[in-house]
């Protein structure tokens, strides 16, 4: 789909196509729809980023809470979104040994208690060992800094999902 086709979509179709570029947040696609026509998909991505940045802290936390735990029960039960399932599998999260799953579950729980939202990382860019190292390291961050870091990861995921959906060129 090219930018002209994307710009011509009805509200419902636009939200249907882009509703999960930010995990389980079709509100984001709905919010940027009125900014059409977009000159480029890069502009669309920028508008999504602007919208995310403009949210109050509670809204940013809400976006982050839409993300599943890495290698959590949703992955094991098959209830992740198709995008998250592919991303987590690619990172090796579905192939963790029992001791690794246990450690990751403990780290995920600590992280959620500390920050109030799940650990978010662009799994496509890391393997399972790197994800666990990042999770352990980020547990020591200040809450505001970690929220911004997690939101940055949401933006990375969004960009890669736009590429995967053939909306953005691989090398802009």
Active-site residue flag, 67: yes
Quick count: other Cβ atoms within 10 Å of Cβ 62?
14
Residue tagged active-site, from 49, 67, 126, 166? 67
pTM for this structure? 0.93
* Average pLDDT taken over every residue of the chain: 93
Quick one: pLDDT band at residue 2, thresholds 50, 70, 90?
confident
Q: Model confidence over 37-53: pLDDT tens digits? A: 999 989 999 999 999 99
Q: Which domains, and CATH codes, for the chain?
A: 69-146 (1.10.3330.10)
């Amino acid at each position: 789909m090219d930018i002209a086709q994307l710009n011509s979509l009805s509200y419902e179709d636009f939200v249907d196509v882009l509703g999960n570029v930010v995990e389980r947040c079709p509100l984001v696609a709905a919010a940027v729809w009125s900014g059409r026509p977009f000159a480029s998909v890069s502009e669309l991505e920028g508008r999504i980023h602007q919208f995310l940045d403009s949210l109050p802290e509670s809204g940013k936390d809400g976006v982050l809470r839409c993300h599943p735990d890495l290698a959590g029960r949703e992955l094991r039960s098959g209830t992740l979104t198709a995008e998250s399932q592919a991303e987590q599998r690619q990172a090796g999260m579905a192939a963790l040994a029992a001791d690794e799953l246990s450690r990751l579950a403990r780290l995920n729980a600590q992280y959620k208690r500390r920050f109030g939202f799940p650990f978010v990382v662009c799994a496509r860019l890391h393997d399972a060992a790197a994800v666990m190292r990042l999770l352990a390291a980020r547990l020591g961050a200040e809450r505001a800094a970690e929220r911004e870091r997690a939101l940055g990861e949401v933006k990375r995921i969004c960009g890669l999902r736009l590429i995967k959906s053939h909306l953005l060129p691989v090398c802009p």
